[in-house]
Amino acid sequence: FDSSKITVIYVLGGPGAGKGTQCAYLVEDFGFCHLSAGDLLRAEQNREGSQYGELIRTYIREGTIVPMHVTIKLLENAMTEALKEKEGKNIEGWADGKGRFLIDGFPRKMDQAIEFDRTVCLSSKVLFFSTTEEVMLGRLLERGKTSGREDDNIESIKKRFRTYENDTMPVIQYYASQDKVAQIDSTVTIEEVHNAARETVQKLFS
């Protein structure tokens, strides 16, 4: 994709930090196309005939990162679809002909970051939602009562935290060294986090 024709923002933060929640608001504010890598993987896992279903299920339950070619392909396909769908339509935020993407929960390991930047497109910014493990654990256990997600249980959550520390924090540091990271405290209420996130994104588009 031509980085001058689309704006890509990566949305990172620990499990349960509030990435998905905040992306939904930013879609309303700025007309983004929101692509959650985790959601795309779960959809692929459940797609009939998928050759990756079992593999994805195992990685997600273990809280480890699915091999990058699977995730990158899913993201690329979804971006192509979104651009096709919106072509010629006058959609707020896309009216200038520039697609806007929020890529949620990706890249969460260095190899993915380097490969996506090199072969798909560069991001303009990284929104980094941060809070404590204690807060994240509380949110995930609460959500787990109804989410049906196979990784919202204490064993998987602990593994997700370790993967986040070991694999994803280096990615955040890598983009911080390029001055791309906007860190937002997501301990506070959904509305307060949203206000901070909206302000950060507004600066990008003004």
Residue from 60, 82, 181, 184 that binds ligand UP5 (CB under 6 A)?
60
Give least dist CB 35 to ligand UP5, A.
11
CA–CA distance, 13 with 178 (Å, rounded to integer): 18
Q: What is the 3-state secondary structure (H, E, C) of the chain?
A: CCCCCEEEEEEEECCCCCHHHHHHHHHHHHCCEEEEHHHHHHHHHHCCCCCCHHHHHHHHHHCCCCCHHHHHHHHHHHHHHHHHHHCCCCCCCCCCCCEEEEEECCCCCHHHHHHHHHHCCCCCEEEEEECCHHHHHHHHHHHHHHHCCCCCCHHHHHHHHHHHHHHHHHHHHHHHCCCCEEEEECCCCHHHHHHHHHHHHHHHHC
Stretch touching ligand UP5 by CB under 6 A, among 90-98, 173-181, 182-190, 195-203:
182-190
Residue from 10, 30, 32, 59 that binds ligand UP5 (CB under 6 A)?
59
Q: Which does 121 bind (CB under 5 to 8 A by kind): ligand UP5, Mg ion, none?
A: none
Decide if residue 41 touches ligand UP5 (CB under 6 A). yes
Reading the block at residue 105, the tokens are: 């929960």
Decide if residue 67 touches Mg ion (CB under 5 A). no
Give least dist CB 8 to ligand UP5, A.
14
| CB-based contact 173:161 (threshold 8 Å) | no
Interface mask (CB under 5 A) for Mg ion, residues 19-58, using x and -? Answer: xx--------------------------------------
Give least dist CB 93 to ligand UP5, A.
21
Name the site residues for Mg ion (rule: CB under 5 A).
19-20
Binding site per annotation, positions: 16-21, 42, 64-66, 105-108, 112, 143, 149, 160, 188
Name the site residues for ligand UP5 (rule: CB under 6 A).
13, 15-21, 36-38, 41, 59-60, 63-66, 71, 105-106, 108, 139, 143, 151, 160, 186, 189-190, 193
